[in-house]
Amino acid sequence: MDPFLDAGVSLQPLEGGWSGETFLAEAGGERTVVRVYADPRHPAEAAETTAALLRLVRGLLPVPAVREVRRADAASGTPALLVTELLPGVRGDLLLPTLDAAALRTAGAAVGRVAAALAGMPTVRAGTFAGGDLAIDPFDLDLSEWVERHHPALADRGWSAADVDRLLGVCGDAHALLDTVDRTCLVHSDLNPKNLLLDPTSLQVTGVVDWEFAHSGSPFTDLGNVLRFDRDPAYVDAVLEAWAERRSADASGPPPAADLLQLARAADLPALVELASREGANPVADRAAALLREVARTGDLSAVA
């Protein structure tokens, strides 16, 4: 009998996500997390790919153990699913706003070390992962082309041609900056406080969850994601210092803090553009749209909305 369809199993939506596909399950005294891949947007091997990523980084990062991977069954209409352990901790988006400057520095250092660990996991090329063997389907992201692709959606949300032109100018500068780095790494791609669990006492990271958008890309993408909205100087400085310390053994060493922050902001631009093109869909998209408008208006990657 399918344990997740058994009448005795408790299954309820897990708080914090927008997909509506993640559930907290309880059966036989064990609590687990069940991710259902029901939306047609998911690749056929999405569950297997995520399971492979979790197994790849387990022991290097605090990620949940994989309990079960189930392929979709077209005959019965049953979607693929992934079952993982439930990790302890409090979501960062709930915890960080409650912390004072000293605590923010401690939490920021812990988060910076996670982003740096990801930046140190090398890959051979940029691209998306496919299947349980994590084969890379290459892509070459040009920021200006990315903006043009999203131009119609931005226009529908009130962006004028002049607004987009200003944004393209920023993207040109950002692309030139990112071109100074010629290596790629494993990128979580949604490394924001909502997907980080922290121990409320020690303020150390106890879980990195939701790997749906993971890919191979820039070593600065996750750093930019972490610092997208959380701009408290104590937190930002601690994240950057911890990242630089962890990456100090790199052949060329980490860039200076100011350059590192600019690289992070530049690497986060594609995500900001994509989110802004969906303004109105959820609060995160709305915040991203406001931030991107200010970046375009000022020409400053570190602008604050």
Could you report the per-residue pLDDT of 226-263, keeping only the tens digit for each?
A: 999 999 999 999 999 999 999 987 777 778 888 999 99
Q: Is the pLDDT of residue 4 over 80?
A: no
Residues 126 and 246 in one domain: yes
Domain boundary among 62, 85, 108: 85
Do 220 and 119 touch, CB atoms closer than 8 A? yes
Whether 25 maps to a domain, the answer reads: yes
Residue count of the chain: 305
**Which CATH number belongs to the domain containing residue 59 in this structure?**
3.30.200.20
Nearest to 208 by CA among 221, 224, 194, 225: 194
β-bridge partners, 185: 122, 217
Tokens 């997740």: give the residue: 4
| 73 plus 211 within the same structural domain | no
**237 inside domain:** yes
pLDDT by residue (tens digit) across 181-234? Answer: 989 999 999 999 999 999 999 999 999 999 999 999 999 999 999 999 999 999
Cα–Cα distance for residue pair 224/261, rounded to 1 Å: 8
Q: From the CA atom positions of the chain, what is the Rg in Å?
A: 20
Strands annotated E in 177-277: 184-187, 196-198, 205-208, 215-217
- pLDDT tens-digit readout, 49-59: 999 999 999 99
Tally of structural domains, the chain: 2
What the block records as the tokens of 197 is 């669990």
Same domain (yes/no): 249, 126: yes
Strand partners, 130: 135
Q: Is residue 303 part of a domain?
A: no
Closest among 165, 199, 191, 204 to 90, alpha carbons compared: 199
Q: Where are the alpha helices (DSSP H) in 120-160?
A: 143-156
pTM reported for the whole predicted model: 0.93
Rounded Cα gap, residues 284 and 300, in angstroms? 21
